[in-house]
Amino acid sequence: MQSQFTITEYLNSVKGAISSNTLDVVLSVNPSAVTSSFIPKLQISLQSLDDKDIMKQIENAHFFNNDWISFENLVQRYLIFVRDFNPWSLLESIDLLIGFYESLGIALNNSQFNSMLLTLVTKSTKVLIPLTQLVDEKLMNKNNRTNDYPRLSYLSTLLLKILNNLRNDQELNTQANKYKISVLMYSSISLCNTYVKIGSPMLCNNVFSNINILSLNKNLISRKQLVQYRFVLGRFNMQQSNFYQAYIHFNWCFSNCHYNTSPQMIATICKYLIPCGLVVGQVVDLNYLRQKFGNYEPGLELVRLHEQLIRYYANGDLFHFTEVVEANEDHFIHLGILIGFLQRVRILVIRNLLNKVFKKTGTLKFNTIKVALELSLNLSQAYAKYGQSGRWLYLIGEEQQVTEELIQNILVVLFDGSLVKAKVTASSNIVLSKTDAFPNVRKLYNLKYPTNSKESWLN
């Protein structure tokens, strides 16, 4: 028979934790952790106490001279969780955990003492998010529903409150509050990932706005957290089809990874970085990636996929480039970029084609452009493959042949976008600039799409 751990003994341990700044131990919501081994013993002694009895004993403990009421409520919600916790049923216990987490967010509103709860915030968030997601997904499967995350959605509102309470510190941006900034960044990153999971990625913009307004000193933030934050920022921009801004963030993440960063993390960054790079004219060094991945097969598979894309991209072979994208459609849909990627990258594939023509002939003429486009677009075969199945996404134009109108439309896009410095004369001759006729695309986009001034604190 288990010996009891009385509520009086527990409240005394809370007093000791306040003195030693270890509230994350005595308020741990991770029953599987060694530090929470007191929970079964404490649970026995709490069975005879109702909510009012528990609060009365907490008040008699005089934590912080009874000046921090929300802390007393936090301890009460914790003891209610311990009392009613069912170790055999997560479904019966999850709302108890969420109730405790809600009280934790409220307690953080006390800027005088909330630093004592920072570690508890991080540890509780790490436990609650996956458990809440698990419950929602189990219920989705049981009820035959999709993308239904009621508890995880509610948890995101609590996490937003935590973020706001942490950032309200008037002296936040100081060396003394370095750890609080770390918890703030962790909460922000976790909240953005949660928004993506529940299908509300646009809400991430509120998080970025709340962080940008702080103008944090990035030297107070670990490089690991900066990589994680800029990754979610890059993913948000990419899914809004802001590919250049996304590339800037992903490229920074890739360039600033620690030398012993896991190949899994490198692959996670690269699956976004590589396609964004192609849209802005940048090609990743695949040989370098092979070395980084070593024997990590998912990373090597990523290299093999993009090896084909990059070859057709560089050669200006749009038909075969499109074939590779279509064959890996699920991959690009999962990234959330299939349509935006195709819409923006195709003109650069054609630009590469015209650049090859120019390098071989020293000029551009309508007749040579037509021949090159006929080979690159292969419209008859493209229509046979995609048109008959209604997959119009993968087609260019409405004709099964390269018409003069199509050529003119392509040249207008290239010339007006300054991707090719040239003009068409009244006699339909193409006159190329004598210098830098095919300018560096990244430099061009850097001028065309300036970085967000509100994110200057990241630079």
Rg of the chain over all Cα atoms, to the nearest angstrom: 29
Helix 7-20 vs helix 69-84: angle between axes, to the nearest 10 degrees?
Answer: 130
Closest to 353 measured CA to CA, from 364, 344, 340, 342: 364
Which structural domain range is residue 13 located in?
Answer: 1-166
Place of tokens 């081994």: 37
Mention every residue, 6+ apart, whose C-beta is less than 8 A from residue 97.
Answer: 29, 81, 127, 128, 131, 132
422: phi then psi, degrees, rounded to nearest 5:
-165, 170
Side-chain-side CA neighbours of residue 238 (13 Å): 32
How far apart are the two ends of the chain, measured CA to CA in Å? 61
CB 92 within 8 A of CB 139: no
What is the pLDDT, as a whole number, of residue 112?
Answer: 86
What is the pLDDT, as a whole number, of residue 1?
Answer: 44
Domain assignment present for residue 126? The answer is: yes
User: What is the Cα–Cα distance from 293 to 277, expressed in whole angstroms?
Assistant: 19
Side-chain-side CA neighbours of residue 19 (13 Å): 6
Place of tokens 């190949």: 263
Domain assignment present for residue 349? The answer is: no
3-state secondary structure of 293: helix
User: What is the Cα–Cα distance from 118 to 182, expressed in whole angstroms?
Assistant: 9
Place of tokens 């976008």: 417
Number of domains in the chain: 1
What is the pLDDT, as a whole number, of residue 419?
Answer: 95
Mention every residue, 6+ apart, whose C-beta is less than 8 A from residue 429.
Answer: 365
What is the pLDDT, as a whole number, of residue 285?
Answer: 93
Q: Please state the separation of Cα 414 from the chain's center in Å.
A: 32
What is the pLDDT, as a whole number, of residue 263?
Answer: 93
**DSSP state, 148?**
-
3-state secondary structure of 430: strand
What is the pLDDT, as a whole number, of residue 136?
Answer: 94
CB 58 within 8 A of CB 75: yes
What is the full per-residue pLDDT of the chain (459 aa) written as tens digits? 456 789 999 999 999 999 999 999 999 998 676 445 788 889 999 999 999 999 999 999 999 999 999 999 999 999 999 999 998 899 999 999 999 999 999 999 998 899 999 999 999 999 999 999 999 999 999 988 888 899 999 999 999 999 999 998 888 999 999 999 999 999 999 999 999 999 999 999 999 999 999 999 999 999 999 999 999 999 999 999 999 999 999 999 999 988 888 999 999 999 999 999 999 999 999 999 999 999 999 999 999 999 999 999 999 999 999 999 999 999 999 999 999 999 999 999 999 999 999 999 999 999 999 999 999 999 989 888 888 777 778 888 777 889 888 999 999 999 999 999 998 887 778 999 989 999 999 999 998 888 888 999 998
Domain assignment present for residue 288? The answer is: no
Which residues in 202-235 are b (16+ Cβ under 10 Å) and which e?
Answer: eebeebbebbbeeebeeebbeeebbbbbbbbbbb
Domain assignment present for residue 352? The answer is: no
Burial of 412 (0-12, 13-18, 19+ CB in 10 A): exposed
What is the pLDDT, as a whole number, of residue 33?
Answer: 65
User: What is the Cα–Cα distance from 121 to 100, expressed in whole angstroms?
Assistant: 11
Type of residue numbered 345 = V
Domain assignment present for residue 454? The answer is: no
Mention every residue, 6+ apart, whose C-beta is less than 8 A from residue 273.
Answer: 247, 250, 251, 253, 254, 284
Token pair, residue 442, equals 């990244």
Domain assignment present for residue 104? The answer is: yes
User: What is the Cα–Cα distance from 448 to 279, expressed in whole angstroms?
Assistant: 14
Mention every residue, 6+ apart, whose C-beta is less than 8 A from residue 245.
Answer: 234, 237, 449, 451, 452
Domain assignment present for residue 319? The answer is: no
Place of tokens 């899994």: 264
430: phi then psi, degrees, rounded to nearest 5:
-95, 120
Closest to 308 measured CA to CA, from 286, 293, 288, 333: 286
User: What is the Cα–Cα distance from 138 to 131, expressed in whole angstroms?
Assistant: 11
424: phi then psi, degrees, rounded to nearest 5:
-110, 125
CB 191 within 8 A of CB 160: yes
Q: Hey, which residues does 430 pair with through a beta bridge?
A: 424
Domain assignment present for residue 122? The answer is: yes
